[in-house]
Amino acid sequence: MVQPLNLKFTNVQCEVLDKSLGSFEKCFLKALGRHNVSFDMHLKMYQLPIKSFMWHAQLLHRGNGFRPLLYNNTMDFCLFMKNPKRWMFWKIIWEAILPYTNLNHTCPLNHDVIIKGLILQMDMIKLIPFPPNTYMLKLRFFNANTEGVEVRVSIEHY
């Protein structure tokens, strides 16, 4: 009998690279059950409004340490929000996160960034055929004046 594959968060690290930009009030994983782990994050912003910023998104897989895997892009976040179809892989990932966050509009950003109760499920990424492994999603948000913030999330696909 074939067992269905599962996804779950295994680790999260949030780091503010420029302390004048903001601070993380929350950044943690919460075990809800054996295979259910939720991700909560609250980034308190000090410099508002943010009219434009970039993001660097990278997918890594575990194999003798974390190594880059296919996707490593730097994009203008405001342009991405206007037309995400240009970056199809990141659009699929973003649509999985979108119901759990308040980043559901284009620029300018006039509020804190919140992700609440994000639980991974296989139907979120059914269009992406990945073999079982441990993956890391590394997201870095920055603009011309600041180093920004970095969020690293480890995901086990088993």
- Indicate the DSSP class of residue 108: P
User: 12 or 35: which carries more pLDDT confidence?
Assistant: 12
Encoded tokens for 81: 């929000």
Average the pLDDT over 64-91 and give the result: 89
Query: If DSSP codes are grouped into helix, strand and coil, which group holds residue 99?
Result: helix
8 Å CB contact between 92 and 125: yes
Average pLDDT of every residue of the chain: 88
Question: What amino acid is encoded at 147 in this protein?
Answer: E
* Digit-coded pLDDT (tens) for 104-145: 888 888 999 999 999 988 777 777 777 888 999 999 999 877
Question: What amino acid is encoded at 31 in this protein?
Answer: A
Question: What amino acid is encoded at 12 in this protein?
Answer: V
Q: Which domains does the chain have, with CATH numbers?
A: 7-157 (2.70.220.10)
For 57, half-sphere exposure in the C-beta direction (CA atoms, 13 angstrom radius) is 17
Q: Residue 3: is its pLDDT beyond 70?
A: no
8 Å CB contact between 148 and 52: no
8 Å CB contact between 57 and 138: yes
Average the pLDDT over 60-79 and give the result: 90
So what's the pLDDT on residue 2?
A: 45
* Digit-coded pLDDT (tens) for 48-59: 888 888 999 999
So what's the pLDDT on residue 99?
A: 93
So what's the pLDDT on residue 6?
A: 83
So what's the pLDDT on residue 72?
A: 93
Full-model pTM: 0.88
Encoded tokens for 40: 């909560």
Closest C-alpha to 16, from 131, 146, 121: 146
Q: What percentage of the chain carries pLDDT values higher than 90?
A: 48
Q: Residue 24: is its pLDDT beyond 70?
A: yes
So what's the pLDDT on residue 149?
A: 94
Binned at pLDDT 50, 70 and 90, residue 152 comes out as: very high
| Residue 15 to residue 149: CA distance in whole angstroms | 6
